[in-house]
Amino acid sequence: MPHIIAIVQGLVNKGFAYESEGDVYFRVRRFPTYGRLSKRSVDDMSPFAEEGAKEDALDFTLWKGAKPMEPSWESPWGPGRPGWHIECSAMSLNYIGETLDIHGGGQDLVFPHHENEIAQSECFTGALFVRYWLHNGMLQMGQEKMSKSLGNLLTVPEVLDRYSADAMRIFVLGSHYRSPLTYSLDALEAARRGAERLVGAARGGARVGRGRGVPGDPFRQRFMNAMDDDFNTPQALAVLFDLARDINRTRDEGQDTEEGRGTLLELSGVMGLTLEEGRPSLPAEPFIEALVHLRQDLRESKQFSLADQIRSRLTDIGVALEDTPQGTEWRYRRQ
Ligand SMILES: [Zn+2]
């Protein structure tokens, strides 16, 4: 909060911001390059729909005076809270410095959020705020954006119950970062098969001896060209699959695959792929159900000591049982 207040005060001192009825606003027209990120002209912008006494409808809030019952902090303009954009500038300037090499974010933040971050940061420091912006496309469920508010959220742990982390990475990297990423079971299944192909090529038996097998350099070069082209990960993945295919072919021909496999592991590592063997973990619930039923059968046949063993083992792994007149209920205990 002190950093935020210092920036707002600095902007007021330099004439880029003004106080009005307990609020502080940024003078958009005082920043000549406002709109350069979202490629909009100030004259075509529709005013921000905000209440308050502003000099110009385009001006945005840096500090908002407290309303009754709202959380608030003390400031030179009375109690209030920060506007929606200033905390990002405060954190960046405080923890990273005046100029960031790369600033990322979703495409939905380009305007007004990042535009406002640029304006308030550059007017405060006088320095360039960001050298490169990376804006990623949204994750979609069919035609809709995946979001908490739409209730169609699928969490990463839920996906990882059924798919390996590599399969999920391949699914994400299969779309260019600026394009929307559309979730579907088909796409995840395809990613799972892709992960298996890469693992098979990288971890399959090595042969030592005849022939050089697959040379790594041409694939490394193609991979770098793809990544140099604004992180074209779908194309870089295609290089990995080509390499895997050639490794398998030369292995079948009885050639040495060490160089090819080393290159495949190296380039996969760049994309965060581990290519580790192993199955995705299975959901635990059906196994817990089966044990609970088994325990009930044991109790009915009066094998209480075995039944108690099952209960205590389940307790050890965080599953609580409760015997009710309707039968045994189970739940995860809070850790
Ligand atoms: Zn931000």
Confidence at residue 51, expressed as pLDDT on a 0 to 100 scale: 64
CA distance 40 to 24: 24
Q: How far, in Å, CA of 104 to CA of 125, rounded?
A: 20
132 alpha carbon – ligand 1 mean position (Å): 15
Q: What span, in angstroms and rounded, lies between the C-alpha atoms of 239 and 218? A: 10
Q: What is the pLDDT of residues 203-236, one digit of tens each?
A: 876 656 667 788 899 999 999 999 999 999 999 9
**What is the number of other CB atoms lying within 10 angstroms of the CB of residue 310?**
17
Using the predicted structure, report yes or no on whether residue 294 has a pLDDT greater than 70.
Answer: yes
247 CA distance to ligand 1 centroid (A)? Answer: 45
- Cα of 129 vs centre of ligand 1, distance in Å, is 13
CATH code reported for the domain at 141-270: 1.20.120.640
Output phi, psi for 93, to 5 deg: -65, -35
**What distance in angstroms lies between residue 113's CA and the mean position of ligand 1's atoms?**
6
**pLDDT > 70: percent of the chain:** 91
Mean pLDDT of the chain: 90
Q: Above 60 in pLDDT, residue 323? A: yes
Span from the CA of 109 to the centroid of ligand 1 (angstroms): 8
* Residue 38 alpha carbon to ligand 1 centre in Å: 15
2-136 and 141-270 share one CATH topology? no
User: Any idea which fold 2-136 has?
Assistant: Rossmann fold (3.40.50)
C-alpha closest to that of 62 among 93, 98, 19: 19
Distance 111 CA to ligand 1 centre (A): 11
- The predicted pLDDT at position 110 comes to 95
Q: Other C-beta atoms within 10 Å of 108: how many?
A: 12
| Separation in Å, CA 296 to CA 141, 303, 308 | 42, 10, 10
CA–centroid distance, residue 196 to ligand 1 (Å): 38
pLDDT at 335: 43
pTM attached to this predicted model: 0.69
Q: How far is the CA of 37 from the centre of ligand 1 (A)?
A: 14
Residue boundaries of the structural domains of the chain:
2-136, 141-270, 285-332
pLDDT in tens, 277-288: 765 556 678 888
* SS3 call for 22: coil
The whole-number pLDDT of residue 159 equals 84
CA of 293 from ligand 1 middle (Å) equals 51
